[in-house]
């Protein structure tokens, strides 16, 4: 086998185009490859995407915390007469306000997918019909199961991360937004704006307690995603061949080695 290392920085017309796995799974554009040639890094996440990520993360933490307290309230507090005390009311207000912010941010994020680069659209679709994508997904799984010595390089999300984003955030968060507003509509009252938009959900589920339970289960799925997401991001930052955490801060993806694949 030819052990000569072909790097991407030495002009070599015979060398293959780098990052085949990334290109074939739809996460590297020609201009991204071009960028690697002369800058050693790629601008992946534009400002609105990064802003959304951090705002979304903050809202999710706030929503998990307040949501858990709504289902399992703090011990009874007797600071004043009930008329002058609004502890639980403030917790619920924080939850509703965070939910509204998260929803508006998510709507803006969806809108940005129409204007931003290809990476801003990645989490909204899953290319399951792309056999190469499926193969690389299995390869990435093998990397996590210690079956292959090193992962492939990706400009955008690797297929495994891509699938996690799609199921937990695109679908999972939409589910939380819809069930959340359906629950909010119950308090807002029949005929209210929220009831007009989301009242049908309660009709579909049939029973408000069941709807609460579904929303509650959704919270646990987001908790699970959060753990996986943070662990994977830190681990990939250390173990993989590209930057992770600094990428969602600055937007630039850098690679630790110069090999084409």
Partner 1 sequence: MPQIETFYDVMRRQGITRRSFMKYCSLTAAALGLGPSFVPKIAHAMETKPRTPVIWVHGLECTCCSESFIRAAHPLAKDVVLSMISLDYDDTLMAAAGHQAEAALMDTIEKYKGNYILAVEGNPPLNEDGMYCIIGGKPFVEQLKMAAEHAKAIISWGACASYGCVQAAAPNPTRATPVHKVILDKPIIKVPGCPPIAEVMTGVITYMLTFDRLPELDRQGRPAMFYSQRIHDKCYRRPHFDAGQFVEAWDDDYAKKGYCLYKMGCKGPTTYNACSTVRWNEGVSFPIQSGHGCIGCSEDGFWDQGSFYDRLTKIKQFGVEANADTIGLTAVGALGAGVAAHIAATALKSAQKKSQAANAAKTDEKTEA
Is residue 63 near partner 1 by the rule CB under 8 A? no
Is residue 101 near partner 1 by the rule CB under 8 A? no
Cβ(20)–Cβ(261) below 8 Å: yes
Cβ(198)–Cβ(204) below 8 Å: no
Is residue 190 near partner 1 by the rule CB under 8 A? yes
Between CA 45 and CA 244 the distance in angstroms is: 11
| CA angle centred on 156, ends 151 and 160, rounded to 5° | 55
**Interface stretch with partner 1, choices 109-117, 132-140, 163-171, 211-219 (CB under 8 A):** 211-219
Is residue 71 near partner 1 by the rule CB under 8 A? yes
* Nearest-10 Cα torsion for 203, 206, 211, 214: -110
Cα separations in angstroms, 119 against 68, 107, 168, 178, 250: 33, 17, 18, 25, 15
Q: Is 174 helix (H, G, I), strand (E, B) or coil?
A: helix
Question: For residue 7, which phi and psi values (nearest 5 degrees)?
Answer: -105, 160
Binding residues for partner 1, how many (CB under 8 A)?
A: 47
Is residue 148 near partner 1 by the rule CB under 8 A? no
Is residue 74 near partner 1 by the rule CB under 8 A? yes
Q: Which is nearer to partner 1, 15 or 171 (CB)?
A: 171
Which listed residue (41, 130, 213, 254) binds partner 1 by CB under 8 A?
213
Which listed residue (165, 186, 198, 255) binds partner 1 by CB under 8 A?
186
Is residue 89 near partner 1 by the rule CB under 8 A? yes
Min. distance of Cβ 86 from partner 1 in angstroms?
A: 6
Which listed residue (219, 233, 244, 248) binds partner 1 by CB under 8 A?
219
% helix / strand / coil in the chain, to the nearest 5? 65, 5, 30
CB contact set of 258 (below 8 Å; sequence gap of 6+):
7, 8, 9, 40
Q: Which is nearer to partner 1, 34 or 150 (CB)?
A: 150
Is residue 147 near partner 1 by the rule CB under 8 A? no
- Contact positions toward partner 1, by CB under 8 A? 71-78, 80, 82-83, 85-89, 91-92, 144, 146, 186-187, 189-190, 199-200, 202-203, 206-213, 216-217, 219-220, 223-224, 227-228, 231, 235, 239
């Amino acid at each position: 086998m030819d052990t000569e290392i072909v790097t991407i920085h030495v002009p070599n017309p015979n060398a293959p185009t780098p990052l085949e796995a990334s290109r074939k799974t739809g996460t590297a554009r020609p201009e991204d490859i071009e960028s690697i040639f002369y800058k050693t890094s790629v601008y992946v996440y534009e400002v609105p995407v990064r802003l959304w990520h951090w705002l979304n993360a903050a809202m999710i933490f706030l929503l998990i915390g307040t949501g858990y307290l709504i289902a399992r309230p703090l011990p009874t507090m007797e600071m004043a007469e009930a008329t002058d005390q609004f502890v639980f009311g403030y917790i619920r207000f924080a939850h509703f306000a965070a939910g509204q912010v998260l929803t508006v941010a998510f709507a803006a994020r969806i809108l940005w997918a129409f204007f931003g680069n290809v990476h801003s659209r990645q989490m909204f679709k899953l290319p399951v019909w792309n056999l190469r994508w499926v193969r690389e997904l299995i390869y990435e799984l093998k990397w996590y199961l210690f079956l292959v010595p090193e992962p492939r390089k990706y400009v955008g999300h690797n297929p495994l991360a891509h699938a996690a984003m799609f199921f937990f955030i695109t679908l999972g968060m939409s589910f939380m937004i819809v069930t959340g507003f359906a629950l909010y509509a119950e308090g807002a009252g029949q005929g209210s704006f929220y009831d007009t938009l989301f009242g049908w959900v309660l009709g579909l589920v049939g029973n408000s307690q069941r709807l609460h339970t579904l929303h509650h289960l959704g919270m646990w799925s987001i908790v699970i995603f959060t753990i996986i997401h943070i662990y994977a991001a830190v681990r990939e930052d250390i173990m993989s061949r590209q930057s992770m955490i600094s990428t969602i801060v600055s937007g630039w993806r850098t690679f630790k080695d110069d090999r084409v694949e």
